[in-house]
Amino acid sequence: MPLAPILREYEQVILDLDGCVWVGEEPTPRAKEAIEALRAAGKGVAFVTNNSRHAGEDFVARLWKLGIQASLADVVTVGGALQHLLAETRTGSMAYVIGEPTIYRHVEDAGLKVMNGTDLASRADLVLVSGTDRVDYDDLKTATLALSRGADFLATSRDPTYPTSEGLVPGPGALLAAIETASGRTAEIVGKPQPQLFLSAIDRLGDAPTLVVGDRVDADLGAATAAGLDAALVLTGGVSREEAEKAVDPAPVAIAETLADLVLA
């Protein structure tokens, strides 16, 4: 299947997963065909995600379930980037974590002790905020107390919403906003719009002309700009055409309704 002319300028493509390849449990229209066409044309393909709820193996399994071949080396997750950062900078620290069990494992595998559920939780050295739908007032209170005592402050992303089949629902940025407001502190972000996920993908793909395809101006276009990469936006996730067309400095190199509309001639 022939590719759209814009793809002739690039040797490889980095695809955001949530909102670009799938929304909720469903693939975006003809996403499988678009990815197959990229590979058939000899383009390198990597997948990235700010979604901290699942491990890399879970995303690989989900891609296979949709008929899209992928290996663990093809997928760069914010959880993996977080673990790498913590292992290099904070091994031995005590952490208070807001997130799913996958993030707890990344933190522990990096050599930190998770203090949730202990009497020392509010005296943790590090507060980490990531995506979850299992959070209550005590979580917000404990995180705020630890930060008031000088804990370091990390978050996986500022994404305010997360695309699902029902529509946009609160993302990790919504939880983060509450804790930043209460504590008067600002978190350091590990995932997009920081460039590290895309730079990690480039490390795996190789240094060649690369196009990022995402669904958010702030996260995807912002991270691509920080990484020195061109980006295109699709409208299946968290951005409207009006918002995409207003993006400047730089603007996306293309705007399309879906990944397939962008990729396929």
The CATH number of the domain where 168 resides is what? 3.40.50.1000
pLDDT value at residue 98: 98
Do 253 and 209 fall into the same domain? yes
The pLDDT-based confidence of 244 (bands split at 50, 70, 90) is very high
Residue 81 lies in a domain: no
* Euclidean distance between CA atoms 139 and 59, whole angstroms: 27
The answer to whether residue 16 is catalytic is: yes
Tell me the whole-structure pTM to 2 decimals.
0.90
Do 197 and 128 fall into the same domain? no
Enclosing domain of residue 258 = 5-50+192-263
85 pLDDT higher than 90:
yes
Could you read off the pLDDT of 159-199 as tens digits, one per residue?
A: 999 888 889 899 999 999 999 999 999 999 999 999 999 99
Residue 242 lies in a domain: yes
25 pLDDT higher than 90:
no
% residues pLDDT > 70 (the chain):
100
Among candidate residues 18, 152, 159, 215, the one labeled active-site is: 18
* Euclidean distance between CA atoms 240 and 192, whole angstroms: 19
Among candidate residues 16, 152, 218, 261, the one labeled active-site is: 16
Residue 80 lies in a domain: no
Radius of gyration of the chain, Cα coordinates, nearest whole angstrom: 19
What mean pLDDT do residues 209-236 have? 96
Do 171 and 116 fall into the same domain? yes
If one compares 248 and 72, the residue with the highest pLDDT of the two is: 72
Do 174 and 199 fall into the same domain? no
Do 158 and 204 fall into the same domain? no
Judge whether 11 and 224 are in contact, CB under 8 Å: no
Residue 72 lies in a domain: no
pLDDT value at residue 41: 97
The pLDDT-based confidence of 238 (bands split at 50, 70, 90) is confident
Do 146 and 216 fall into the same domain? no
Residue 55 lies in a domain: no
Do 173 and 134 fall into the same domain? yes
Residue 68 lies in a domain: no
Residue 64 lies in a domain: no
Judge whether 163 and 237 are in contact, CB under 8 Å: yes
**Least-confidence region, from 98-107, 159-168, 227-236:** 159-168
Do 119 and 95 fall into the same domain? yes
* Euclidean distance between CA atoms 198 and 82, whole angstroms: 14
Nearest CA to 183 out of 138, 151, 155 is that of 151
From 189, 222, 246, give the residue that closes a domain. 189
Residue 84 lies in a domain: no
The pLDDT-based confidence of 24 (bands split at 50, 70, 90) is confident
The answer to whether residue 203 is catalytic is: no
Q: Give me the number of domains the chain comprises.
A: 2
Do 225 and 208 fall into the same domain? yes
Do 214 and 160 fall into the same domain? no
Could you read off the pLDDT of 117-146 as tens digits, one per residue?
A: 999 999 999 999 999 999 999 999 999 999
DSSP-derived secondary structure letter, 217: I
pLDDT value at residue 162: 86
The pLDDT-based confidence of 158 (bands split at 50, 70, 90) is very high
Match 């590090």 to its residue by tokens: 126
Do 138 and 181 fall into the same domain? yes
Average pLDDT, the chain: 96
Do 128 and 145 fall into the same domain? yes
The pLDDT-based confidence of 263 (bands split at 50, 70, 90) is very high
